[in-house]
Chains A and B, each alone.
Chain A
Amino acid sequence: MKDNDSIENRNNDDKLYKAYITNTKEEMDSSFSISVEEQRQIVARGRTAARITNVMISVAILLLILPVMTLLSYLYYAIGGRADHLIEVTSKTIYVTEPNISIEEMEIEDDIGFFSMNIFFDVYKRIGKQDYKAGDYDIYFALDQPAFPKKNMVLERPLPENPTGETENMLHPKANIPFSVSGEWNMLKGLPNGTVAEVYLSFSNLMDPEEIEEFLPTETEVQWLAVHTGLEAKQTDGEGIPIAPIGYPAQIDTTTWSPFNGRDQTNQEVFMDILALLEENEIVSEKVARAKSLDMTKRLAFLKANGIEVYGAVVTGPTPELRKLEQIEEIRAMKVGEVKLWNWK
């Protein structure tokens, strides 16, 4: 009996529902006042509006890529002074690894791209009493990783890009001299008297930096001192990779921004500070320096234990004065560097 009741109830519900639906449909048909054509127009208008919105948003997003990336790149290099730090390591590496080369810190240019940076600067050599442009550097950094510098040197006798013992100009007393010393003296003798020149000297013994001035002719000027760091006799690091001299400028550079401006620290102290900086940033400094191994940890430890002794120097002055160096017994070898017209006084 119960089953019959429930079937009847359901049939009633169905009827009610159908009636309601039919009623609603009729109401809709009567009240729906928009024609099919109008509906089509509305859809078309909506589609066009949606298309324009899509295009505009897509274009906006595409156009945002470049500025956002650029902004992020600038933020990367600005936060914590990353770019300045890379520039500092680069310039200081050059001071201590390139004999008689200086940089105008104020003229270092930077160009920041997509998460990369190029720095450009000129390097100078002091020959006689004047600084001459020795070339320019262009160094690319991908984030903080440097590539090998693109150098454009304008020197008559540039130093080799891949230094080895055979190409060295300044040599430790225990290292073999790979060039003809008499040939170099003859070259100096063949130069006109009205010129100034730069020569690389190698000494017979290790000596204190102050001792050098005592035996050099007065009309000459020491520009750069090659420092004994324990590796120069062998001319390779612990793994057999060739090394190049490291040293520091002998004269005080009065340019305000030069690290060797002699205000608070002597050049020797600045040199030791720079080596400590390069030790912390060896990846950058080894890319910038010509020698592909600096082995700074070992060299710095040696210098701290033994103090600064020099085995070579870059000296500049009038050619006739430089010829007098041949008579000095402390000088074991000499190699001529750059020569320029008279500018001594």
Chain B
Amino acid sequence: MELEITRVKRKLQTATGFVSFLGGIMALAGLNASMLIETDVFPDTMLVKLPLLGLFLGVFGLVTRNRSRMYAWWGIGLNLFILVFTFMMFGLSWTINAKP
């Protein structure tokens, strides 16, 4: 039983993973807001800097040995999605109705 309880303690999330996940959610919320209010230029901080930081923290959160990595994986997923989204949107916007 002693072992069981220790495992419960170890199952707590990593702090970096948590911050990464939270950062991802915040960046995603910023992305949603800018899409809903239809600004043409998405704020750079929301779309590149925050996700990059989140991605870094997420990867850092994975390094931990004993704690759960779920938040870190979510953080990496969300931040990577935002980066891919930004990159693809730029690319696709250029392809559609392209003008020299």
Contact = CB atoms under 8 A, between A and B. Distances in A.
What is the interface of chain A mostly: helix, strand, loop, or mixed?
Answer: helix
A74 B89 contact: yes
Interface in B61-100: 70-71, 74, 78, 81-82, 85, 88-89, 92-93, 95-99
B2 interface: yes
A278 interface: no
Contacts of A1: none
A12 to B, nearest CB: 30
B5 A42 contact: yes
A110 interface: yes
Given A60-B78, A84-B96, A67 B5 contact: no
Contacts, number: 77
A31 B85 contact: no
B8 A42 contact: yes
B35 A66 contact: yes
Contact of A75 (B25, B31, B74, B92): B92
A57 B82 CA distance: 16
Contact of B12 (A28, A49, A56, A109): A49
Contacts of A78: 92, 95-96
Interface string A28-51: 100111100000001000100100
Which bucket holds chain A's interface residue count? 20 to 34
Contacts of A60: 21, 24-25, 28, 74, 78
A71 B13 CA distance: 31
Contacts of A119: 97
Contacts of A193: none
B74 A57 contact: yes
A88 B92 CA distance: 18
Given A49-B12, A66-B36, A77-B96, A56 B5 contact: no
A93 to B, nearest CB: 17
A168 B71 CA distance: 69
Interface in B10-57: 12-13, 21-22, 24-25, 28-29, 31-32, 35-36
B92 A67 contact: no
Contacts of B2: 31, 33
A327 to B, nearest CB: 47
Interface string A99-121: 00000001011101000000100
B26 to A, nearest CB: 10
A67 B78 contact: no
Contacts of A75: 88, 92
A64 interface: yes
A7 interface: no
Interface of B: 1-2, 5, 8, 12-13, 21-22, 24-25, 28-29, 31-32, 35-36, 70-71, 74, 78, 81-82, 85, 88-89, 92-93, 95-99
What 5 pairs across the A-B complex have the smallest Cβ distances? A63-B28, A74-B92, A78-B92, A83-B96, A110-B97
